[in-house]
Structure 1
């Protein structure tokens, strides 16, 4: 089933007034749910079923999971304040490619200083320090995607 067929199926289901449709084929499982009261909260799930015979023997599924800190590391970092991402987007350490980094490890910061920029939907949002202190660790690489509430910096407030 190609993308065009899936799009046509979504349009058909949303126009039919049906609340939920499940379709299972050899390699694709699709669930389309719509709300019946005129809300535009259509949710579509497309799941590719694993095809064991098509994968080489050395291939294995790869899962991306958040990095969990070890208990020893969290005890060590407990005296530091974590500055977290307020939004989902792409993390940038400098305002433009030809400009210097906002902060480095060891930089002293004051409340209101710009620490980084996070791009979300083509808008660049300056992330400002909420406290004064010294940057101890930068937890995200430049130009990396970040999630809401993901730790970005460790700051020593003393």
Structure 2
């Protein structure tokens, strides 16, 4: 199930008036909960729980250990560029990435920007909540891997940082 299908499911649940919907597939679970009108502001929550035992493949083990560290070193992308010395800032959630705090402002970071641990590098909108994504390393942005206003997946690489 991709991000568009999840977004369509959320819209459908919101329009239907249901208070809770659970969907379980082979490799994940999604629970969507909404509050009743009058009790609190309406909110929709999505919980994505990967099911590890459904995928007992040997190559999956290294990929499953990678999410434990939000900024693991990037793998070499090709024969020309050696990106193994860079640290990858990855998306901790699914949603829509925005590189600017608002449409009329400058981006949080650009290629060449020096950042410190804790600096905001972008925001990700999920369920109409804007989540600031902070850098877990200090260094210089060497590559921006996503476009502004684009959907991102959990653990998707967003930026490459040179920590030296």
Regions of 4+ moved over 3 Å: 40-44
Q: 1:61-103 deviations in whole A, cap 9, x for unaligned?
A: xxxxxxxx75425x61101000000000001000111111100
1:94 aligns with 2:100: yes
Q: Is 1:84 matched up with 2:90?
A: yes
Q: Which of 122, 132, 138 is the aligned partner of 1:126?
A: 132
Cα distance in 2 for residues equivalent to 1:43 and 1:85: 23
Distance 1:112 1:70, change over 3 A: closer
**What's the counterpart of residue 137 of structure 1?**
143
The higher radius of gyration belongs to: 1
Separation of aligned partners in 2, 1:70 and 1:129: 21
2:154 aligns with: 148
Find 2:79's aligned residue among 72, 78, 87.
72
Answer whether contact 2:77 2:83 (CA < 8 A) is retained: no
- Structure 2: runs of 5+ lacking an equivalent: 1-20, 26-75
TM-score normalised by L of structure 2: 0.54
Distance 1:79 1:119, change over 3 A: same
Contact 2:142 2:162 in 1 (8 A): yes
Question: Is 2:98–2:124's contact at 8 Å kept on the other side of the alignment?
Answer: yes
Q: Cα gap change, 1:72/1:147 in structure 2, threshold over 3 Å: closer, same or farther?
A: same
Match of 1:12 in 2: none
Q: How many residues align?
A: 95
Structure-1-length-normalised TM-score: 0.56
Q: Are 2:123 and 1:117 equivalent residues in the alignment?
A: yes
Structure 2 CA distance for partners of 1:88 and 1:42, relative to 1, 3 Å? closer
Alignment partner, residue 36 of structure 2: none
Query: Alpha carbon RMSD of aligned pairs, Å?
Result: 2.1
Deviation at 1:41, TM superposition (A): 3.9
Question: Tell me, what secondary structure is at the counterpart of 1:76?
Answer: coil
